[in-house]
Amino acid sequence: MASLRDIKNSINATKKMSQITKAMEMTSAAKWNRGVMNAKSFVPYMEKIQEVTTAIAVSSKGIPHPMLVSRPVKKTGYIVMTSDRGLAGAFNSNVIRRVHQTIQSRHKSTDEYAIIAIGRVARDFFVKRGMNVILEIVGVSDQPKFADIKDMTSSTVEMFADGTFDELYLYYSHYISAISQEVNEKKLLPLTDITTTGKLSSYEFEPSAEEILEVLLPQYAESLIYGALLDSKASEHAARMTAMRNATDNAHEMIKSYSLSYNRARQAAITQEIAEIVGGAAALE
């Protein structure tokens, strides 16, 4: 049985841990609020660039742009978004598990796929298993700017254009609410689903539609990656906030349990001392 000192030390250590997890929860809550605002504020831009891109693509169906045309798939690219650190519940593991299972089911060798890892957790997981990581980016800000990933997005789109891979998928954690996130799989390239059932706006192109598509399509693909990153960051902060809140609650429950054990042990020690005193007094009579 643990001594009173051991139980007291456990209580003090758990109290200090709960203070740390509570502070981390508050920090994540502030980041979460800002992350959700960033993700929501990017939506109007995404909707507008999608509208313009759709209008040009639909009106220029005779233009064989490589980003709009499916081709035989010899190699598949996967962009995987995780965080640089843990303590976020199942945020990282859910994304990694989904990607790993997908790759295992679709491909028989590393020559058939390529991984672009955003986040240290994803990079470390796939590198340790000898999987084909061709591009990585770590240390992304908690509130990322497009400039933080511009080089990576440009390189990824160029690799599709030059045939490094023939299709590109995006995996990230989609934010639903503070306590709910889900893994999203999105086919990023080729952009074969740029269609709409609604009425398209009419645009006059200057210069030609071909020249505009040449510039706009890569920007559209890059904006999809950046929008997913903002969504992923909002999910990360929410997941970490929830995980730290649960950790704090668990610490409080442990403190109650330790305190109960401490009081029982202390009561037993006092009873034992009284019994020894009574026994000693009886022996002196």
Structure tokens at 102: 């997908």
* Cis-peptide, bond into residue 64, ω within 30° of zero: no
d(CA 252, CA 244): 12
In the chain, the DSSP E strands lie at 76-81, 113-118, 133-137, 167-177, 180-189
The rounded distance, in Å, linking the Cα atoms of 269 and 280 is: 16
91 residue type, one letter: F
Average pLDDT, the chain: 88
Give the pLDDT band (50/70/90) at residue 1: low
35, 237 Cβ separation under 8 angstroms: yes
Is the pLDDT confidence value at 66 over 70? yes
Question: pLDDT tier at 281 (50, 70, 90 boundaries)?
Answer: low
The model's pTM: 0.87
State how far the Cα of 85 lies from the Cα of 137, in Å rounded to an integer.
Answer: 14
Flag whether pLDDT at 7 surpasses 60: yes
Beta bridge partners of 171: 80, 185
**pLDDT given for residue 217 in this prediction:** 85
Cα 238 to the center of its chain, rounded Å: 10
**Digit-coded pLDDT (tens) for 14-31:** 999 999 999 999 999 999
Buried b / exposed e over 236-270, threshold 16 CB at 10 Å, is: bbbbbbbbbbebbeebeebbeebeebbeebeeeee
Most confident of 93-97, 178-182, 191-195, 216-220: 93-97
Domains of the chain are 23-243 (3.40.1380.10)
> pLDDT tens across 256-273, in order?
999 998 888 888 878 877
Mean pLDDT score, 186-205: 69
pLDDT of residue 61: 63
